Amino acid sequence: MSTQDRGAGAPVIGVSADIETGMTVAQVLHQAPFELLDNRLLVAHALRMSRSQLITQADHPLDTDEAQRVAASFARRRAGEPVAYILGSREFYGLSLLVTPAVLIPRADTELLVDLALDRAAPGALVADLGTGSGAIAVALARTRCDLRVTATDVSAQALDVARQNAALHRVQPTFLEGDWFAPLQDRRFDLIVSNPPYIVAGDAHLAQGDLPFEPLDALTDHADGLAALRILTAGAGRHLRPQGWLLMEHGYDQAAAVRALLQSAGFTTVQSWTDLAGIERVSGGQYMTPA
Ligand code: GLN
């Protein structure tokens, strides 16, 4: 297609070889080189349209600004940047959450942890989410169950800032505390402690693949054997759980047996693991019995 075909006043822009002023939304989507859902998300975001407007406005011709915005987001994606960071948001538990490179991108697998926590939380339960990151778990819990009293901690002030924005966006008010794992909880006790800690083994090949190189490394790996944070959580939870309170932790695909062993040796009962959508044991947990 040349400039002439589209008539006067429609200059070809230089930002990208394939996205040009005057192309229609349908043509842009047809040219978009990424996965189908990613193409739609990127184009809708760049054009400030909803995904249904992409269909109802399929014949809309892009002006120069729009073409430049689409080309710019395609260029970022081509350079490997995660779609969630380009959009600045990701859907989790039916909620649109803000995400920045200061936080791990919420994963669908982690919705299992939310479901398990909701199943175990009695009315008015005190719940702690340790290493909350974007606040995904804490906000999903508080939003689904307004009776829960949710506390969320993170060692990263930047992450807490994102989590606070997500709480405000969804009109929930967890208590946010800055600090390492249990440190900011002082002597508080909870009915339920949940966490999606960093659990990838240092040097694991996955850290160099897909979205992961763009995510905060400290949210992904313990820089050790992958169990360091899970050990801290199991060892410390007893001092912060009420009798029969639950500890539920997400972990790696091959860590379930090791995490169950940690829970058992720390005095937890009804220790078990649950599988994610892919059938992989993804969350393990148990109930803390106060020693007689
Ligand atoms: N599940 C994530 C991944 O494998 C890791 C998240 C985490 O370390 N908590 O990409």
pLDDT at 11: 40
Q: Is residue 279 part of a domain?
A: yes
- Tell me whether residue 92 is in a domain: no
Residues 44 and 117 grouped into a single domain: no
**Are 135 and 205 part of one and the same domain?**
yes
Domain, as residue range, for 13: 3-79
Tell me if the pTM is above 0.75. Answer: yes
The two counts, helices (H) then strands (E), for the chain are: 11, 9
Cα(104) to ligand 1 centroid in Å equals 8
Same-domain pairing of 128 and 184: yes
Whose C-alpha lies nearest to ligand 1, atom 6?
220
Atom of ligand 1 nearest to the CA of 212: 10
Residues 110, 253 share a domain? yes
**Are residues 55 and 107 both part of a single domain?**
no
Per the prediction, the chain carries an average pLDDT of: 93
SS3 98: strand
Measured from the Cα of 197, ligand 1's closest atom is 9
Q: What is the tally of structural domains in the chain?
A: 2
Distance CA 95, CA 278 (A): 22
Tens of pLDDT, residues 119-128: 999 999 999 9
Per-residue burial over 154-171, b if 16 or more Cβ lie within 10 Å, else e, is bbbeebbbbbbbbbebee
Let me know whether 110 and 46 are in one domain: no
Task: Give tens-digit pLDDT for 49-105.
Answer: 999 999 999 999 999 999 999 999 999 999 999 999 999 999 999 999 999 999 999
CA of 199 to the centre of ligand 1 (A): 7
